[in-house]
Chains A and B, each alone.
Chain A
Amino acid sequence: MPVCDETVDRLLLQVSKPARYIGQEWNSISKDWDTLSATLALAYPDLYELGMSNLGLAILYDIVNRHPQYCAERVYAPWPDMEANLRAHHVPLYSLETRHALSEFSVVGFTLQSELTYTNVLNMLDLGGVPVLAAQRGDEAPVVIAGGTCTYNPEPMTPFVDAFAIGEGEEAILDILGVVAEARAAKATRDDLRRALAAIAGVYVPAMYRPRHGASGVYAGVAPLEGAPSTITKRIVRQLPPAPTRPVVPHLQATHDRATIEIQRGCSRGCRFCQAGIVYRPIRERPAAEIVQAIDELVGNTGYDEIGLLSLSSSDHTDIEAIVQQALDRHSHDGVGVSLPSLRIDSFSVELARMISSRRKTGFTFAPEAGSQRLRDVINKGVTEQDLLQTAQAAFAHGWNRIKLYFMIGLPTETDQDVLEIARLAHELARMGREMRGRRVEISISVATFVPKPHTPFQWEPLITRSDATRRQRLLREALRGRAFKLSYSDWDSTWLEALLARGNRCLGDVIYSVWQRGARFDAWSEYLDVPLWQQALAEAGFDTENELHAPRTRERPLPWQHIDTGVALSFLWAERECALRGDLSPDCREHCHHCGILATFAAERSTVEAGAWGCP
């Protein structure tokens, strides 16, 4: 039974931003449940405004709702004021489309994009009337699934999730709904359903695996039970499916308040810190004509004044210039602009930025990631100081007065000297800007703390210590005094928790459960992140946090995510790590194949697409 409108109305008058919880937005889709064989709640474990900017969920919403027998409905984490109201009035967390409680869906699917949303997953299940622990779900309870980049290390969330969809979800989601619909029709038991799910390619059913411990109780990976596969290889689509062009237009201003189209998946640059660069392999470009057509449809179907061309490195698309030019020719007279989220550091990118910013000249942004050439070579950024200076020069020449730079601290082999190079570079750019613009320019420096992510060449590296991180932040602060500079850096607490959860094993599940029970939620929001609560739960679980975070991991010891296969070989990652430590560069893989393993893993898929359809040589 859906939650009735009157009940919702009473709750909404007492909460901040009630528009988060109402649904019926332009392009939202509500179906009659009587005609459906499976229902999917697409759950985003953070606020509506953030979730509505997520392209992955929009893609799945489109694909599932195209199927006549399935529906996909949205649900977001309620802010604590709404949670208090839901609990006080015994109203379950409901979907925006038809206002069914989560417990009434056949599948509840979470997207895990940030480790700091994990406690919200537990909270949403609880609010929606779904048992939080997978082991406590009966035959009638929804199947809880999860996808998204965090699931490349699913272990910490295994107690709460029935099945993880590893990799690209466009095809897997329909396979999963098919299996669930069939099991429901046949009144299958939960065990039968688990076995059927585990048989789908790319689906990891954690209940069918047991953690192994070596001598002295050291964690030694997981072992499959009952014939489950020993490794789970991610799913990919052979070519990008048609882009959704009728996305739901949010009632509230979303974090990225624009229509988006994915122009390319994967990135050939091979930056060694970057998880996306590994897990989104191989490169697949969307053809230019398809993109231009989709932009027309997006403008007509949504009315947005901005179209974001999304990819890991926008300026790498073969036809990017023509695409941007055509989009502007067709729509700029209607006040519609184009945005490119991630530009390379070269003068071509400045040209592109100049084309799209005729209306809104905000800051020119680029990401050198490291201050010294030595360290940029370690991470394989493939950018020289000359590239940086020339890019900045071109930006100033074209009228920008503000440059924004992204850096990281805590990269492998980093010294204080490398960090001071960031400041030297900033001073150089400020001087160049002042000379060229004849006025003070603004150099804004954003410094994140590096978290060594699973499935990257740096996955064996330790996290920087708190004392090193704060000292290097202080060094920068002292070296970047003056009104020209704006310095911001990430706070240690969230870096610490992110690293812990991103790199943890199954034992962390108990800790997550325990902190949620004691009130943890919205850990990504500094006003809610309660570090002492986490520390207490970790201590109670006997967790050696220091060792877990700051001790390097050896090649011999299994990593908690070793049973998850991205298609990229472990030997390639290790070789890249060795190159990094020597400071050797690996060229762009469009130019030279490094035999990372992706083509061997997906040879069957590649044999069915045109030669050259993938960015691999």
Chain B
Amino acid sequence: MQTEAVQRLRITYGVDGPLRYLSVLDMGRLWERLLRRARLPLAFTQGFNPHPRMAFAAPLPVGYSSTHEVLDVYLGAIVAPEGALAAICAESPVGLCLQSVVEVPLSAPPMQAIMRAAAYEVAAWSAASPEQMRQCLQWALDSDALLYERVRAGRTQSIDLRPLLLKARYLGQDEAHRLELTMVCSPQGAGRPEELLAALEIGESHWAVCRSRLYWDAHTEE
């Protein structure tokens, strides 16, 4: 088993359909198996229980689709990125839409450390009118604090969503209200659109979220 990495590939892909419901751990296992099926020369972590060396830029919450996911994979031998792209495509399950594979320097900082924000396309099913929705979003942007009770693993935690909300735009209504939100997504924390909807009481019956863009500190990368 190779533990020394000689190449780092950055895989960009989208998530849709069934794969929306996978946790980040499930997604990790899915990629591990996918890369092994694609016969890429993986580099492994050292120690008791070696795993392929790879890292997601930002975990995708359960239930979200995405058109912009980033995964870095470390290899023990050099491969052509185009060849890797074809091999991965051939082994991709339903719901995984591969976009690109490029080589990045091994020395580049880990994606997770330089993540800053993410943009989301949101559909919210609500009895509110478009005008009410617009006002709600404006009210959120104008307020100083937006308290929300986050329940995770049975524990309730009060968090302020306001500093996590960077941009909010109301796009209109078809079968659902359409919104575009940009929220903080960094090592310090991440905003979640459905929590904002819940705090504003405008997504009560159903929602759908697509993460459309990840933003990171590009200039810190070589």
A543 part of interface (Cβ distance < 8 Å): no
Count chain A residues whose beta carbon lies closer than 8 angstroms to a beta carbon of B.
Answer: 31
Whether B93 lies near A24 (C-beta < 8 A) is yes
Say yes or no for A249: interface residue by CB 8 A criterion: yes
The answer to whether B94 touches A360 (Cβ under 8 A) is no
Residues B93 and A19 in contact, CB atoms below 8 Å apart: no
Q: Enumerate chain A residues within 8 angstroms of B49, measured Cβ to Cβ.
A: 359-360
Which of A5-13, A315-323, A490-498, A528-536 sits within the interface?
A: A5-13
Is B62 a contact of A18 with CB atoms below 8 Å? yes
- A window 343-397: CB within 8 A of B: 359-361
Interface 9-residue window, one of B15-23, B79-87, B112-120: B15-23
Shortest Cβ distance from residue B91 to the other chain A in the assembled complex, whole angstroms: 8
Give the CA-CA distance A13 to B17 in the complex, in Å. Answer: 13
| Binary CB contact string for chain A from 298 to 325 against chain B (1 if under 8 A, 0 otherwise) | 0111111100000000000000000000
Mark B26-65 against chain A: 1 for CB-CB distance below 8 A, else 0.
Answer: 1001101111110000101000111110000000001100
User: Are B18's CB and A23's CB within 8 A?
Assistant: yes
Indicate whether A223 reaches chain B with its CB closer than 8 angstroms.
Answer: no
Q: Is B18 a contact of A253 with CB atoms below 8 Å?
A: no
A598 CB → nearest B CB, Å: 40
Nearest B-chain residue to A21, judged by Cβ: B21
Residue pair A12, B21 in contact (C-beta under 8 Å): yes
B145 at the interface (CB under 8 A from A): no
**Out of B17, B29, B207, which one reaches A253, CB within 8 Å?**
B29
Which residue from chain A places its CB closest to the CB of B40 in the assembled complex? Answer: A334
Known contacts A335-B50, A335-B52, A360-B48; A303 and B18 CB within 8 A of each other: no
Q: In the complex the two chains form, is A303's CB within 8 Å of B36's CB?
A: yes
Are the CB atoms of B36 and A22 closer together than 8 Å? no
Asked if B168 is an interface residue, CB under 8 A from chain A, the answer is no
Q: Which of A301, A333, A359 contacts B37 (CB 8 A)?
A: A301
A305, B206: Cβ atoms closer than 8 Å:
no
Contact residues in B for A253 (Cβ distance below 8 Å): 25-26, 29
- B159 contacts across to A, CB distance below 8 A: none
CB contact under 8 A between A18 and B21, given known A302-B37, A333-B1, A335-B44: yes
Residue A553 at the chain B interface, CB threshold 8 Å: no
Are A359 and B206 CB-contacts (below 8 A) given A26-B93, A251-B22?
no
* Residues of chain A lying within 8 A (CB to CB) of residue B25: 253
Nearest CB on B from A29, distance (A) = 12
Measured in the bound complex, the distance between the Cα atoms of B3 and A333 in whole Å is 11
The answer for the CA separation of A300 and B52 in the assembled complex, in Å, is: 16
Q: List the B side residues contacting A360 at CB < 8 Å.
A: 48-49
Does residue B208 face the partner (Cβ distance < 8 Å to A)?
A: yes
Q: Are B33 and A303 in contact (CB under 8 A)?
A: yes
Chain B proximity of A97: nearest CB distance (Å): 12
Please determine whether B33 and A251 come into contact, CB atoms closer than 8 angstroms.
Answer: no
- Among A23, A251, A303, A335, contact of B1 (Cβ-Cβ < 8 Å): A335
Q: Which residue of A lies closest to B35 (CB)?
A: A303
Chain A residues within an 8 Å CB radius of B29: 253, 257
Given contacts A18-B63, A24-B95, A25-B93, contact A303 B34 (CB under 8 A): yes
Asked whether A332 is an interface residue with its Cβ less than 8 Å from the other chain, the reply is yes
With A334-B42, A335-B42 in contact, is A305–B26 under 8 Å at CB?
A: no
Q: Could you say which residues of chain B place their CB within 8 Å of the CB of A36?
A: none
Contacts of B26 in A (CB 8 A): 19, 251-253
- Enumerate chain A residues within 8 angstroms of B93, measured Cβ to Cβ: 24-26
Residue in A9, A10, A252, A299 whose CB lies within 8 Å of B36: A299
Interface string of A425-446 (1 = CB under 8 A from B): 0000000000000000000000
**CB-CB nearest in chain B for A23:** B18
Contact of A251 (CB < 8 Å), options: B2, B18, B35: B18
In the bound complex, residues from chain A placing their C-beta under 8 Å from that of B91 are 303
Please name the residue on chain A nearest to B44 by beta carbon.
A335
- C-alpha spacing A214/B93, complex, angstroms: 60
Annotate B83-107 by CB proximity to A: 1 below 8 A, 0 otherwise: 0000000010111000000000000
Contact residues in B for A303 (Cβ distance below 8 Å): 32-37, 91
Select one of A10, A22, A257, A335 contacting B21, CB under 8 A: A22
CB distance from B84 to the nearest CB of A (A): 15
Task: Spell out A's residues near B (CB within 8 Å).
Answer: 9-10, 12-13, 18-19, 22-26, 249, 251-253, 257, 299-305, 332-336, 359-361
12 contacts across the A-B interface (CB closer than 8 A): A12-B21, A23-B18, A25-B18, A26-B33, A251-B18, A251-B30, A257-B29, A302-B37, A303-B34, A303-B35, A303-B91, A361-B48
- In the complex, the 7 A-B pairs of residues with the closest C-beta atoms, listed nearest first: A303-B33, A303-B36, A18-B21, A303-B37, A24-B18, A22-B18, A24-B94
Beyond A251-B18, A303-B32, A335-B36, 8 additional contacts (C-beta under 8 Å) are: A12-B21, A12-B63, A13-B63, A18-B63, A332-B1, A335-B44, A335-B52, A360-B48
